[in-house]
């Protein structure tokens, strides 16, 4: 008797499911990757768009990129769409951007996180939890490791983003996600990019995604930061992502009342000098950021233009200029220096102050840290899922510093003002008053959703939660603290209490205050 065993393998038509890029009030780009060269069909606003797939040797030999630009859409409007690729159909919906200077029905919502550094090997890998002075690390942990791996930590982030973005979209308020560099662990490793899109596939079909390029996008695990390897690694970033600016690594995006200027801080200045953010990388194709460079001149022009348009200006780049982490050390190769320091980016601080930038977002050091320098807010939005690092140097500009080893809250006596905007997204527009260089963003600025990994007895957990809540509440209610920064201590973001990693995530919401619909404010959540 002969038995015939048939093995059937099913290959998905989608290598990467649809995601939204380069949003504007009247257009957006829809991208996806397929496993064959056949065209797909995007259906939106009762129209069909047939894709023109192209081979992507930058990614691999088995993927084909589909990129469809859709024009003629209405601002701040909800659209349902579907993408047919072979026998598979993916459906999604998204809200177009508001008109410049406006919000959605009531607000807009922005999400910032950094250093997701995805890699398949992160699953089940728990990074070291160092014991530092004042640490809340539970005793008796041996070598000490975080209780949640990077995979669960990033999932916790994206669960929060997904829930709150859907809430905004349902209420007619557009949302946007930004990853401020180091999207993947190794830019040249395709499995790391696959891991990234597998995670973000829960939100990218509904919320437009932008990014700043980080040093890990230029890294090869075998040869490091050689010019050839870094150039090939960066090409993956540019293949996947479409931003305004004709493929440049720095660009401007207007999202309602907010202008986001994204810079490339990967490598600049003099190689091996005090203005170099990466002593290990010397690639002439990466744009310089130092004063006088082409990128700097572009930045100056865009700052001047955005200020004349009375936009709220955000700047983002990967290397945090003000940090107490390891990359807060001075640049150099000495024992008390760092070869990938963020300090050189301080060269840009004077121009930020000159044009009254509201806030600067960075990553690189895997922690949450808020510094105020000459009235400009600098945020290190730290770890996108990995364990958080401890402090290495003193940062005298800290307002709030948060990681699993320490809480530091420094009250400030600075004051804030409320920019005025129109709530009507399609008609009248009031000009925003010029912001004073030393003014803060409005109160109720942000929400940092944070969960502590604690392996403690119930009694100690309750005591610690009560103590931290009391401490934070006392600081947050202080009249001198002009920025409300809520901490969700011990929240169960992954469904497993005491197993969630530190969630390091910014959520900004701009909108109209109840009772005064002519005012704009930034609120938490």
The residues near 192 (Cβ < 8 Å, ≥ 6 apart) are 118, 119, 120, 184, 185, 186
User: pLDDT (tens digit, 9 = 90+) per residue, 206-222?
Assistant: 999 999 999 999 999 99
Cα–Cα distance between 95 and 172 in angstroms, integer?
7
Fold adopted by 108-412: Purple Acid Phosphatase; chain A, domain 2 (3.60.21)
**490 and 465 Cβ atoms separated by less than 8 Å:** yes
**187 and 146 Cβ atoms separated by less than 8 Å:** no
* DSSP-derived pairing of the beta strands 258-262 and 312-319: parallel
User: pLDDT (tens digit, 9 = 90+) per residue, 304-331?
Assistant: 999 999 999 999 999 999 998 889 999 9
In the numeric block, which tokens belong to residue 165? 């973005």
* DSSP-derived pairing of the beta strands 14-24 and 27-34: antiparallel
Q: How many CB atoms lie within 10 A of CB 498?
A: 17
Which is nearest to 115 in space by CA: 348, 397, 324, 319? Answer: 319
pLDDT at 199 over 80: yes
Residue 350: its pLDDT value, please? 97
The residues near 34 (Cβ < 8 Å, ≥ 6 apart) are 13, 14, 15, 40, 53, 63, 64, 66, 85, 86
Mean pLDDT confidence for 474-480? 31
The residues near 382 (Cβ < 8 Å, ≥ 6 apart) are 114, 115, 363, 365, 366, 367, 368, 369, 388, 403, 504
14-95 placed in CATH 2.60.40.380: yes
Cα–Cα distance between 342 and 369 in angstroms, integer?
14
Cα–Cα distance between 350 and 441 in angstroms, integer?
18
Cα–Cα distance between 107 and 440 in angstroms, integer?
19
User: pLDDT (tens digit, 9 = 90+) per residue, 79-132?
Assistant: 999 999 999 999 999 999 999 999 999 999 999 999 999 988 877 777 776 665
Mean pLDDT confidence for 13-24? 96
Residue 384: its pLDDT value, please? 79
**Torsions phi, psi of 474, nearest 5?**
-60, -40
DSSP notation for 44-91: ETTEEEE---EE-TTT-TT-EEEEEEE-SPPTT-EEEEEEEETTEEEE
User: pLDDT (tens digit, 9 = 90+) per residue, 367-388?
Assistant: 888 999 999 999 999 777 765 6
Mean pLDDT confidence for 358-368? 92
**94 and 208 Cβ atoms separated by less than 8 Å:** yes
User: pLDDT (tens digit, 9 = 90+) per residue, 271-303?
Assistant: 888 889 999 998 888 999 999 999 999 999 999
Element spanning 92, H or E = strand 88-95
Residue boundaries of the structural domains of the chain: 14-95, 108-412
Which is nearest to 383 in space by CA: 141, 152, 124, 143? Answer: 152
Q: Assign 449 a pLDDT band (cuts: 50, 70, 90).
A: very low
Cα–Cα distance between 352 and 442 in angstroms, integer?
18
Cα–Cα distance between 278 and 15 in angstroms, integer?
33
């Amino acid at each position: 008797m002969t038995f015939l065993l048939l093995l059937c393998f099913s290959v998905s038509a989608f290598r990467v499911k649809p995601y939204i890029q380069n949003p504007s009030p009247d257009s957006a780009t829809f991208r996806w990757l397929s496993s064959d060269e056949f065209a797909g069909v995007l259906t939106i606003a009762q129209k069909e768009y047939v894709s023109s797939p192209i081979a992507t040797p930058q990614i691999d030999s088995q993927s084909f990129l589909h990129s469809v630009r859709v024009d003629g859409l209405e601002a701040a409007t909800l659209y349902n769409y579907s993408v047919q690729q072979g026998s598979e159909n993916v459906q999604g919906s998204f809200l177009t951007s508001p008109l410049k200077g406006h919000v959605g029905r009531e607000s807009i919502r922005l999400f910032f996180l950094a250093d997701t550094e995805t890699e398949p090997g992160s699953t089940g890998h728990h990074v070291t939890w160092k014991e530092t002075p004042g640490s809340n690390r539970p005793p008796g942990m041996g070598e000490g490791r975080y209780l949640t791996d990077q995979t669960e930590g990033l999932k916790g982030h994206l669960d929060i983003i997904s829930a709150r973005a859907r809430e905004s979209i349902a209420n007619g308020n557009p949302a946007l996600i930004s990853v401020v560099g180091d999207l993947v662990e190794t830019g040249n490793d395709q499995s790391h990019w696959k891991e990234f899109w597998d995670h973000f596939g829960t939100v990218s079909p509904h919320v437009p995604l932008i990014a700043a390029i980080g040093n890990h996008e230029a890294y090869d695990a075998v040869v490091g930061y050689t010019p050839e390897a870094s150039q090939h690694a960066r090409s993956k970033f540019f293949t996947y992502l479409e931003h305004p600016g004709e493929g440049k690594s720095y660009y401007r995006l207007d999202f309602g009342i907010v202008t986001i200027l994204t810079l490339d801080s990967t490598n600049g200045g003099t190689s091996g000098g005090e203005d170099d953010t990466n002593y290990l990388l010397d690639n002439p194709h990466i744009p310089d950021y130092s004063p006088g460079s082409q990128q700097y001149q572009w930045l100056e022009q865009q700052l001047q233009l955005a200020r004349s348009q009375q936009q709220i200006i955000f700047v983002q780049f990967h290397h945090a200029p003000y940090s107490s982490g390891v990359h807060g050390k001075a640049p150099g190769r000495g024992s008390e220096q760092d070869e990938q320091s963020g300090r050189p980016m301080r060269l840009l601080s004077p121009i930020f102050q000159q044009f009254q930038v509201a806030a600067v977002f960075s990553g690189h050091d895997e922690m949450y840290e808020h510094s105020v320098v000459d009235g400009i807010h600098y945020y290190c939005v730290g770890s996108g899922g990995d364990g958080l690092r401890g402090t290495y140097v003193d940062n005298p500009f800290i307002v709030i510093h948060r990681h699993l080893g320490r809480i530091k809250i420094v009250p400030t006596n600075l004051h804030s003002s409320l920019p005025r905007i129109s709530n009507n997204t399609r008609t009248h527009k009031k000009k925003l008053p010029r912001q004073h260089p030393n003014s803060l963003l409005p109160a109720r600025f942000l929400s940092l959703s944070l969960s502590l990994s604690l392996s403690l007895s119930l009694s100690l957990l309750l005591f610690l939660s009560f103590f931290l809540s009391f401490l934070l509440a006392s600081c947050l209610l202080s009249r001198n603290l002009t920025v409300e920064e809520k901490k969700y201590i011990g929240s169960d973001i992954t469904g497993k209490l005491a197993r969630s990693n530190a969630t390091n995530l910014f959520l900004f919401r701009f909108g109209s205050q109840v009772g005064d619909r002519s005012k704009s404010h930034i609120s938490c959540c």
